[in-house]
């Protein structure tokens, strides 16, 4: 492996699963065996959720802010087509090249084509969930282009040949001793090595990562970012982060490509105010986040001179089309639902088979990818339905309602191919009840059955589903005349008299 190769996170995935993970029930069992990981998770999530609760309690209109955020996001979803066109026009006017990507493959191809056209063999990246969703690093690696993660936690994950396990703190499952060992063993293989005398003191680890990343920041000609928000009326992009590495990525390279999900729009900069109050308190339990970067197009002589934005669908319009599931698109990736979830705290993020773990992963992945694979069918059941996530989500996503809705979808999907006996019965009842004429036909048939088999005839039918239940119970034979027939006769008599 040369220093230009990207450290792979895992071996190549088998088809149908994210990076080779099995479905939740099996993956959870395996993850529960990792005692050290469980200890790290309990320690981290207990600390973060206590901080979140304190910071939220300080804001007198916290509930009103949550409602406002949900309403703003709902408005965006209702008029998404208009806001997208408005944002495209504003970004284009500001000198940004706007691309549209239907799926992850298309987004990757666009980023790869830009990188090849620029002749670069490496890019620096600031934490971007969507590029994990599309496996961009692996795609770039196949083109001979190294993608360097520059967020500290992402760097730990990448150097550890690992997978992210949390939205905000991707290396939450690692403690500082493990981070020390990863840095010591791996940094030298891909650039500036860790200092020989480095201890596992967090400050020394941060200094080692700074030195390792600095040469990459100064050398890279192209940056790839995500985006927390796009302001539709001005075309401004917004990134919220804690370390400042993002700002280096956004300002130093000559070319910047931002890959952003189409649901990340906000109508105006005034709407941003609501989210900048909610997001840091909900995510890291801070009153405000250290770095908030807004950039609107190209400024000659200042920052990247070639800006691209890729607006990614990748299943989002499918989610939008589902009135019962679309609220999941309100998510601002704060991770409060992960930190409060008793299931996540025990099994960790890897069990969810996706870069989106925890409660949001359980409702978002099956909508983005459909409920066809074993991984996605299992996710709506990866919850106790305790509802703790409902209470902390800053955009008031009704998790438990969506989980139940998706469980129903999973059952529908399963029974549409192989109806169970129970499903067959309920489908038949549905057909009967859907139309009065069908009910009449069944009533006629049941009266005929009663005449042939006599009283209490249902118990004598060879119904596989009846089993022991009908042996102990029976239904009286239907009356000789149905209500409808009686009513029709009565009406006829009335008209004759
Ligand atoms: S679903 Fe809500 S709580 Fe969970 S990450 Fe998204 S915004 Fe945060």
pLDDT digits (tens, 9 = 90+) for 407-443: 999 988 887 777 777 777 888 899 999 998 898 888 8
Instruction: For residue 351, report the distance from its CA to the centre of ligand 1, in Å.
Output: 18
Residues 6+ apart with CB under 8 A from 229: 237, 238, 264, 265, 266, 272, 275
Instruction: For residue 388, report the distance from its CA to the centre of ligand 1, in Å.
Output: 12
**Whether residue 348 has its Cβ less than 6 Å from ligand 1:** no
Looking at the DSSP assignment, which residues form a beta bridge with residue 311?
100, 260
Backbone angles phi, psi at 295, to 5 degrees: -140, 140
Atom index in ligand 1 nearest the CA of residue 358 equals: 4
**Whether residue 336 has its Cβ less than 6 Å from ligand 1:** yes
Which residue CA neighbors atom 4 of ligand 1 most closely? 337
Atom index in ligand 1 nearest the CA of residue 359 equals: 4
pTM of the model: 0.82
**Whether residue 56 has its Cβ less than 6 Å from ligand 1:** no
Cα(319)–Cα(322) distance, rounded to whole angstroms? 5
Model confidence band, residue 488 (pLDDT cutoffs 50, 70, 90): confident
Atom index in ligand 1 nearest the CA of residue 330 equals: 7
pLDDT of residue 466: 57
**Upper half-sphere CA count for residue 1 (Cβ side, 13 Å):** 12
**Whether residue 382 has its Cβ less than 6 Å from ligand 1:** no
Q: Which residue has the tokens 């944002």?
A: 87
Average pLDDT over residues 235-248: 92
pLDDT surpasses 70 at 224: yes
**Whether residue 283 has its Cβ less than 6 Å from ligand 1:** no
Average pLDDT over residues 222-235: 97
**Whether residue 331 has its Cβ less than 6 Å from ligand 1:** yes
Convert the pLDDT of each residue in 21-39 to its tens digit: 688 999 999 999 999 889 9
Q: Phi/psi class of residue 229: alpha, beta or left (left: φ > 0; alpha: ψ in -120 to 50)? A: beta
Percent of the chain with pLDDT over 70: 90
Q: Which domains can be identified in the chain, with CATH numbers?
A: 18-318 (3.40.50.10420), 327-417 (1.10.1060.10), 421-496 (no CATH)
Which residue CA neighbors atom 2 of ligand 1 most closely? 393
**Under a CB-based contact definition with an 8 Å cutoff, are residues 103 and 76 in contact?**
no
Neighbours of 348 (CB within 10 A): 26
pLDDT surpasses 50 at 12: no
Which residue CA neighbors atom 6 of ligand 1 most closely? 331
**Whether residue 361 has its Cβ less than 6 Å from ligand 1:** no
**Whether residue 337 has its Cβ less than 6 Å from ligand 1:** yes
**Whether residue 333 has its Cβ less than 6 Å from ligand 1:** yes
**Whether residue 146 has its Cβ less than 6 Å from ligand 1:** no
Instruction: For residue 283, report the distance from its CA to the centre of ligand 1, in Å.
Output: 9
Instruction: For residue 392, report the distance from its CA to the centre of ligand 1, in Å.
Output: 8
**Whether residue 360 has its Cβ less than 6 Å from ligand 1:** yes
* Most confident option among 163-167, 388-392, 452-456: 388-392
Per-residue tokens: 463? 């119904």
Average pLDDT over residues 135-143: 95
Instruction: For residue 81, report the distance from its CA to the centre of ligand 1, in Å.
Output: 24
Name the residue of 53, 74, 332 to mutate for ligand 1: max ligand atoms within 8 A of Cβ. Answer: 332
Average pLDDT over residues 324-339: 97
Report the Cα 414 to chain-centroid distance in Å.
Answer: 22
Name the residue of 67, 395, 400 to mutate for ligand 1: max ligand atoms within 8 A of Cβ. Answer: 395
Per-residue tokens: 165? 């396990």
Name the residue of 334, 362, 388, 401 to mutate for ligand 1: max ligand atoms within 8 A of Cβ. Answer: 334
Name the residue of 331, 340, 357, 363 to mutate for ligand 1: max ligand atoms within 8 A of Cβ. Answer: 331
pLDDT surpasses 50 at 10: no
- As a whole number of angstroms, the longest Cα–Cα distance in the chain is 109
Instruction: For residue 120, report the distance from its CA to the centre of ligand 1, in Å.
Output: 36
Which residue CA neighbors atom 8 of ligand 1 most closely? 334
Atom index in ligand 1 nearest the CA of residue 335 equals: 5
pLDDT surpasses 90 at 8: no
């Amino acid at each position: 492996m040369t220093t230009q190769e990207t450290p792979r996170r895992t071996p190549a995935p088998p088809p149908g699963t994210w990076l080779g993970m099995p479905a939740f029930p099996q993956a959870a069992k395996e993850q529960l065996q990792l005692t050290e990981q469980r200890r790290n998770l309990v320690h981290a999530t207990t600390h973060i959720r206590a901080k979140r609760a304190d910071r939220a309690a300080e804001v007198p209109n916290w509930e009103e802010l949550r409602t406002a955020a949900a309403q703003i996001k709902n408005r965006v979803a209702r008029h998404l087509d208009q806001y997208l066109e408005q944002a495209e026009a504003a970004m284009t006017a500001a000198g940004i090249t706007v691309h549209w990507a239907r799926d992850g493959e298309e987004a990757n191809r666009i980023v790869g084509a830009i990188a090849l056209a620029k002749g670069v063999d490496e890019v620096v990246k600031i934490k971007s969930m969507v590029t994990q969703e599309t496996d961009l690093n692996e795609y770039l690696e196949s083109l001979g282009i190294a993608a360097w993660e520059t967020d500290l936690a992402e760097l730990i994950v990448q150097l550890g040949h690992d997978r992210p396990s949390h939205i905000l703190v991707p290396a939450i499952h690692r403690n500082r001793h493990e981070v020390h060992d990863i840095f010591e063993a791996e940094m030298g293989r891909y650039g500036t090595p860790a200092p020989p005398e480095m201890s596992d003191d967090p400050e020394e680890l941060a200094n080692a990562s700074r030195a390792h990343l600095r040469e990459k920041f100064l050398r890279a000609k192209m940056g790839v970012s995500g985006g927390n928000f796009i302001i539709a009326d001005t075309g401004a992009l917004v990134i919220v982060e804690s370390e400042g590495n993002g700002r280096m990525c956004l300002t130093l390279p000559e070319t910047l490509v931002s890959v952003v999900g189409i649901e990340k729009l906000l109508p105006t900069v005034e709407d941003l105010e609501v989210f900048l109050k909610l997001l840091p308190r909900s995510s890291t339990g801070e009153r405000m986040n250290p770095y908030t970067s807004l950039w609107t197009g190209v400024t000659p002589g200042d920052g990247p001179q070639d800006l691209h934005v890729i607006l990614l669908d990748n299943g989002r319009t499918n989610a939008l089309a589902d009135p019962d599931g679309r609220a999941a698109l309100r998510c601002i990736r704060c991770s409060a639902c992960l930190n409060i979830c008793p299931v996540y705290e025990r099994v960790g993020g890897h069990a969810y088979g996706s870069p989106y773990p925890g409660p949001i992963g359980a409702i978002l992945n099956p909508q983005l990818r459909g409920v066809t694979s074993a991984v996605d069918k299992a996710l709506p059941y990866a919850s106790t339905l305790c509802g703790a996530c409902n209470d902390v989500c800053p955009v008031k996503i009704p998790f438990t309602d969506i989980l139940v809705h998706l469980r129903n979808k999973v059952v529908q999907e399963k029974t549409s191919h192989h109806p169970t006996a129970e499903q067959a019965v309920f489908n038949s009842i549905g057909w009967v009840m859907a139309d009065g004429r069908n009910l009449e036909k069944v009533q006629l048939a049941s009266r005929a059955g009663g005449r042939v088999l006599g009283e209490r005839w249902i118990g004598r039918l060879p119904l596989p589903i009846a089993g022991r239940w009908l042996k102990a119970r029976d239904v009286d034979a239907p009356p000789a005349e149905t209500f409808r027939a009686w009513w029709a006769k009565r009406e006829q008599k009335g008209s004759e008299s």
